[in-house]
Structure 1
């Protein structure tokens, strides 16, 4: 009919498997409701709270039923905690099977290979009741101008992803540490002064988390070369674990184009090595890319975070010229 306009079709909802996109869409819809005034926004927020509480009660009841029937053992709890979507739902409703301390320690384990490649380590001192995580950085964090930046990104990003309910991450200074510490402590003031210099000084590299969606579907045993934030990256997957390195061989100084995973001779099924197709050097993936042929050589590992639907890599930002 002339003069009659059809109502705009609603935007399609994200696929159910992309739960992060669904969360973003919910936020966008709530923000859009603000155009209808404060009352409309309050009603939208109340609707989301009610739906969340409703499904949270159902999730809790489901776990109770499993427990009553003897099906909620340690193995099932571990499987639930390992699924990022389920773990996120459990966290939202305060039903995660692992304590904050356990989740933080698991997060630190995931970044220790990266810290170790720079001669460093991190120790969990504890978590307070009000959500303050205490850490101690050990060893040397030197090696490149951006190492402190990527170290902070690796530790902070991994901890916050594993325990989003924490409020603060505090790093103990050398003066505050006990005298019998297992290694030298990196002073927090020195660490953060380097971070400030990196972000404030022209020509000094910083670092940032870059999403790499193509790694979501990388199969076990797969190796792929990608670009993240202008940095060439070589990524591979062993079982459920993802690893990322700079795309550059430490032995022959060439890109790792055509590199493939192989089982380490005499190692377990999960002990894989990357072989450079140019010089045939072998790098232990799980040991931060340590070279098997020449001691002291290793690939440059990059911090990586995966939440089940998205993967991000911490890469140095390009140096301004």
Structure 2
């Protein structure tokens, strides 16, 4: 294939914004003609939500690239939850799942330390373990920490569809060492 043919093929594969906009309008018009205002309104809302999502992602990309990150532009993009979710959604993210799970845990580690166990790609299940209670041990605090970790994982690695948390009793912690004064012996007790 010649360079000119390859270039023409690449251009044909790239969606045209004007044509895409027309196509979206045609679909919305077809739905509006069905005399079901609820369906038509839902379709228009869906388009607005997606436009807002992609617009926010593009704005974030431009901000991160233009913020003078000192050559760290691509890495700054990969650390951003919104940009990462867009890249993963379109199978464009350069990092594998395990790396992105690690990045997600790093993003919340200060407040909610957790470690990743096995990830089963067939079921989408990730095993997690809290590494530090970080709070009072209250069930509500533990639940909030788990929700924060799961939210980060879902942004960085949406292929994780469920999590299993290792129970607190499953952790192997060192035995408690009691340090106290030596009990009196017969020689010192007299």
TM-score, reference length from structure 2:
0.46
Higher strand share: 1
Higher helix share: 2
Largest Rg, 1 or 2: 2
Could you say which structure has the greater relative contact order, defined with CA pairs below 8 angstroms and 6 or more residues apart? 2
TM-score, reference length from structure 1:
0.30
